[in-house]
Amino acid sequence: MYNFKEVEKKWSERWEEEGTNSPSMDEAENHYYNLMMFPYPSGEGLHVGHTYAFGGADTFGRFKRLQGYDVFQPMGFDAFGIHSENFAIKKGMHPEELIEETTSYFRDEQMRPYGGMWDWSREVNTTDVDYYKWTQWLFVQLFKNGLVERKESSINWCPSCKTVLSDEQVESKDGVNVCERCKSEVSKKTSEQWFFKITEYSEELLDYHGTEWPETTAEMQKNWIGRSEGARINFELTDGREIEIFTTRPDTLFGATFFVLAPEHPLADEMEGSEIEEYLKKVDNKTEVERKAAKEKTGVLTDLKIINPVNGEEIPVYVADYVMADYGTGAIMAVPAHDERDLEFAEKFGIEVREVIKEGEIINSGEWNGLSMDEVLDWIEDEGVGEREVNYKLRDWCISRQRYWGPPIPMIYCEECGWNPEEDLPVELPYIEDYQPKGEGKSPLADLEDWIETECPQCGGEAERETDVSDTFLDSSWYFLRYPSTDIDDKPFDKERTEKWLPVDSYIGGNEHALLHLMYSRFITMALNDMGYIDFREPFKRFYAHGLIIKDGNKMSKSRGNVVNPTEYMDEFGADALRMYLLFLGSYDQGGDFKDEGMQGMKRFLDKVYRLFKESMDSCGDSEDLDRALHKTIKKVGEDLGSMKFNTAIASIMKLTNVWKHNIEEADKSFLRSFALILAPLAPHLAEEMWSILGEEFSIFDSEWPEYNEDLIKTDNFELVIQIDGQVRDRVIVERGISESEAERVALERENVQKHLNDREVKRSILVPNQLVNLVTE
């Protein structure tokens, strides 16, 4: 046993003191930016999920460093936002004081002892005015470049958080739309908010510019963006007014037997008549989910008739809530023969169902019979009936929050000049005692008359500040740009440094951020590139999504009382043991099941390594078996760590340790040195300790990953001769270096051997290495 507490404390402090983990931003030549998602400092402290994510990412970073890279591995805190504010409310504290407490607990009590290779000299905290000044700057730049818009729109409202949410912050739970934070049901509301025009990048967000993404993440983004190819078609009402529709199936135009307007469509909205007005009122109270999930379609017939542009037929127009206002044009041609929703509606209202496609062929469609989709689209464009169009489900990013704990949106309203951006940043968040959300559609900042009153930056007249703050996801959409430039305060990021260190070489985090953080970061990066601030379009060269940790087969939750507190395990078993245990649970992209017994097992393994190491200090022999095993392991562990296969890397090291145990006398200094190096990314403290005992220069992480000898690991096979009591009875091809017990096992499996043994018992066996095995029965 070694005193892991002492050892771990000693080395993590030494790394800190000597700046071991702080590469020079300007001088580093072989730069590698190893990023992991920064946490929000929740009151519960570090979660084992963090420990898992960070453990893998750090092991990868340390391996890269041993490979000769100048690895930059920063860390920070995403401390603004509803999550921190809600927790402050619960605790009855001011978020500012709470954040100070929780961040120092995270950093000093939990993360530092864990021993990640973090460069704490470049820590970022999104609530520091030196940081959020630049978040506000970003808002202003986007505004000046036409990417910010204030518009009236149907938005999501969380009645519990008392704020609007972006579409990406709304989750579906059992068919109900809920707030991503507090899981309360959200409702739809129409109001005026600030939006970022992410939709201008819909198409480009589907192109990853050669960067590497897990299929699941890319798929989630793709579905969210929801690209549909089709056509926009012009219809004319019999009274001469025109309406456009979007369809993905222009080939079914001859099958359109009715037409539907969304209740919010301007044409429907102005309609009179008691039945329609009543229907519109009813729909007003429904949520989008209710409308989409409704088992029975509802709607009302209007007096309008519309002309199908391909056959001149007059068809009836309905208002129905299964058509949504904010997709396509908010109006559809209905083809009940080929669309499920239209069919349900047609059956209920007794409308004709006319088949126009059979076995993929257009039928019943006059001159269109037999045409392909492309020919149909050409026809439509040539006749001026409509044109090809691509539609996206993605909506603009609603950025306003009616809360306190965020950067004030740096906009000023003047009656004369309208909205203007604040030129004099930062707009500091004023300290107010009563910061709780009021729920009247306004931030608590709206009560601060003195703060609101300001000068119009354009005409100098009286003007008012915006009182909403921005969404937390804006804070995290650019933090990776700040890290290399934290020492610079006259700009958000230095151009030269940014272009040197970014795009980020490797980004590791959870897939739950696929839509929010990851998609927003990609959008902001593209926008900054368009504005000329950076020279790349994708922020991350590669994203890797790690799996999740469960406990004894169950999801961890407070109500189950099975939440693993990593700090407790670290205290009891050590940071290295905890990290290795977590990484040994399964493949890193799958996660694993945390069990206390397993944790103890990993601690015993590290104790064993240390014991063997001490016992080998006087060894000087030479063993071909051990050498062969070592070089094989160097190769395997190197390949595995480079591809984040931490569990199999650990398994190989364990196997090597067993060979070591049988060759204690032969484990010389060069073996011990190599062993420490391959262990270092996985158990950094213990490896540093071994390194120092070996008399090597601090730090092991400034050394190099050992090379392996290809000749030694060639696993040539040979023909093993099998004897029974000295008589040759069989031959079999096996791997060189096969052990005595393994050779016996292989021999006993042979039919010929069994026949000759004829039920006699093998008392012992003798191996002549790489030649023969003799089974002795007497």
Q: Rule CB under 6 A: which residues touch ligand ANZ?
A: 228, 246-249, 252, 262, 323-324, 327-328, 330, 332-333, 335, 338-339, 391
Between residue 425 and residue 484, which ones bind Zn ion under the rule CB under 5 A? 456, 458-459, 461
Would you say 338 or 750 has its CB closer to ligand ANZ?
A: 338
Contact call for residue 417 and Zn ion (CB under 5 A)? yes
Nearest approach in angstroms of CB 456 to Zn ion is: 3
* Residues whose CB is less than 8 angstroms from the CB of residue 547 and which lie 6 or more positions away in sequence, other chains included: 586, 587, 588, 589, 590, 591, 592
Cβ–Cβ under 8 Å, residues 166 and 158 = no
140 vs 302: CA distance, rounded Å: 47
Would you say 290 or 572 has its CB closer to ligand ANZ?
A: 290
Q: Which of the listed partners (ligand ANZ, Zn ion, none) does 332 bind, with a CB threshold of 5 to 8 Å by partner kind?
A: ligand ANZ
Nearest approach in angstroms of CB 92 to Zn ion is: 41
Nearest approach in angstroms of CB 299 to ligand ANZ is: 12
Cβ–Cβ under 8 Å, residues 478 and 518 = no
**SS3 state of residue 550:** strand
Q: Which of the listed partners (ligand ANZ, Zn ion, none) does 634 bind, with a CB threshold of 5 to 8 Å by partner kind?
A: none
Q: Which of the listed partners (Zn ion, ligand ANZ, none) does 53 bind, with a CB threshold of 5 to 8 Å by partner kind?
A: none
Nearest approach in angstroms of CB 81 to ligand ANZ is: 32
User: How many residues contact Zn ion, by CB under 5 A?
Assistant: 7
Q: Which of the listed partners (Zn ion, ligand ANZ, none) does 193 bind, with a CB threshold of 5 to 8 Å by partner kind?
A: none
Would you say 297 or 482 has its CB closer to ligand ANZ?
A: 297
Nearest approach in angstroms of CB 416 to Zn ion is: 4
Would you say 461 or 621 has its CB closer to Zn ion?
A: 461
685 vs 694: CA distance, rounded Å: 14
Nearest approach in angstroms of CB 411 to Zn ion is: 13
Would you say 91 or 150 has its CB closer to Zn ion?
A: 150
Contact call for residue 414 and Zn ion (CB under 5 A)? yes
Q: Which of the listed partners (Zn ion, ligand ANZ, none) does 249 bind, with a CB threshold of 5 to 8 Å by partner kind?
A: ligand ANZ
The type of residue at 240 is G
Cβ–Cβ under 8 Å, residues 566 and 48 = yes
Contact call for residue 413 and Zn ion (CB under 5 A)? no
Q: Which of the listed partners (ligand ANZ, Zn ion, none) does 456 bind, with a CB threshold of 5 to 8 Å by partner kind?
A: Zn ion
Nearest approach in angstroms of CB 100 to Zn ion is: 39
Nearest approach in angstroms of CB 460 to Zn ion is: 7
**Cβ burial, residue 320 (10 Å; 0-12/13-18/19+):** buried
Q: Which of the listed partners (ligand ANZ, Zn ion, none) does 228 bind, with a CB threshold of 5 to 8 Å by partner kind?
A: ligand ANZ
Q: Which of the listed partners (ligand ANZ, Zn ion, none) does 247 bind, with a CB threshold of 5 to 8 Å by partner kind?
A: ligand ANZ
Q: Which of the listed partners (Zn ion, ligand ANZ, none) does 252 bind, with a CB threshold of 5 to 8 Å by partner kind?
A: ligand ANZ
Q: Which two tokens stand for residue 260?
A: 């539907």
DSSP code of 135?
Answer: H
Q: Which stretch binds Zn ion (CB under 5 A): 354-362, 375-383, 412-420, 703-711?
A: 412-420
* Residues whose CB is less than 8 angstroms from the CB of residue 372 and which lie 6 or more positions away in sequence, other chains included: none
Q: Which residue has the tokens 């937390």?
A: 472
Would you say 258 or 543 has its CB closer to ligand ANZ?
A: 258
* CB atoms closer than 10 angstroms to residue 750: 16
Nearest approach in angstroms of CB 445 to Zn ion is: 21
Q: Which stretch binds Zn ion (CB under 5 A): 6-14, 407-415, 565-573, 600-608?
A: 407-415
One-character DSSP codes across 518-541: IHHHHHHHHHHHHTTS-S-S-SBS
- The torsion angle over the Cα atoms of residues 365, 369, 374 and 379, rounded to 10 degrees, is -60
The type of residue at 139 is F
Contact call for residue 639 and Zn ion (CB under 5 A)? no
87 vs 679: CA distance, rounded Å: 40
One-character DSSP codes across 335-359: -TTT-HHHHHHHHHHT------EET
**SS3 state of residue 584:** helix
Would you say 387 or 416 has its CB closer to Zn ion?
A: 416
| Beta strand residue intervals within 501-601, DSSP E | 506-509, 543-545, 548-551, 591-594
Nearest approach in angstroms of CB 198 to ligand ANZ is: 18
Q: Which of the listed partners (ligand ANZ, Zn ion, none) does 417 bind, with a CB threshold of 5 to 8 Å by partner kind?
A: Zn ion
Would you say 225 or 427 has its CB closer to Zn ion?
A: 427
The type of residue at 463 is A
Would you say 313 or 455 has its CB closer to ligand ANZ?
A: 313
Would you say 357 or 427 has its CB closer to Zn ion?
A: 427
**Cβ burial, residue 160 (10 Å; 0-12/13-18/19+):** middle
The type of residue at 658 is N
Nearest approach in angstroms of CB 315 to ligand ANZ is: 13
Would you say 347 or 428 has its CB closer to ligand ANZ?
A: 347
Nearest approach in angstroms of CB 202 to ligand ANZ is: 13
Would you say 246 or 708 has its CB closer to ligand ANZ?
A: 246
Nearest approach in angstroms of CB 334 to ligand ANZ is: 7
512 vs 524: CA distance, rounded Å: 19
**SS3 state of residue 606:** helix
455 vs 2: CA distance, rounded Å: 67
| Beta strand residue intervals within 224-298, DSSP E | 228-237, 242-247, 258-261
* CB atoms closer than 10 angstroms to residue 639: 13
624 vs 140: CA distance, rounded Å: 67
Contact call for residue 502 and Zn ion (CB under 5 A)? no
Angle between helices 646-662 and 575-584 (to 10 degrees): 110
Q: Which of the listed partners (ligand ANZ, Zn ion, none) does 339 bind, with a CB threshold of 5 to 8 Å by partner kind?
A: ligand ANZ
**SS3 state of residue 394:** coil
Nearest approach in angstroms of CB 175 to ligand ANZ is: 18
749 vs 735: CA distance, rounded Å: 16
* Residues whose CB is less than 8 angstroms from the CB of residue 69 and which lie 6 or more positions away in sequence, other chains included: 30, 31, 32
Angle between helices 566-573 and 596-615 (to 10 degrees): 30
Would you say 168 or 339 has its CB closer to ligand ANZ?
A: 339
Cβ–Cβ under 8 Å, residues 246 and 328 = yes
Give which of 182, 217, 224 is closest to 199, Cα–Cα: 224
Contact call for residue 728 and Zn ion (CB under 5 A)? no
**SS3 state of residue 319:** strand
92 vs 94: CA distance, rounded Å: 7
Q: Which two tokens stand for residue 99?
A: 């954040």
Would you say 263 or 574 has its CB closer to ligand ANZ?
A: 263
Q: Which of the listed partners (ligand ANZ, Zn ion, none) does 208 bind, with a CB threshold of 5 to 8 Å by partner kind?
A: none
Angle between helices 575-584 and 48-66 (to 10 degrees): 90
Q: Which of the listed partners (Zn ion, ligand ANZ, none) does 324 bind, with a CB threshold of 5 to 8 Å by partner kind?
A: ligand ANZ
Nearest approach in angstroms of CB 592 to ligand ANZ is: 38
Would you say 19 or 461 has its CB closer to Zn ion?
A: 461
Would you say 252 or 470 has its CB closer to ligand ANZ?
A: 252
Nearest approach in angstroms of CB 375 to ligand ANZ is: 18
Q: Which of the listed partners (ligand ANZ, Zn ion, none) does 416 bind, with a CB threshold of 5 to 8 Å by partner kind?
A: Zn ion
Contact call for residue 416 and Zn ion (CB under 5 A)? yes
Would you say 253 or 504 has its CB closer to ligand ANZ?
A: 253
Nearest approach in angstroms of CB 110 to ligand ANZ is: 45
Residues contributing to the site for Zn ion (CB under 5 A):
414, 416-417, 456, 458-459, 461
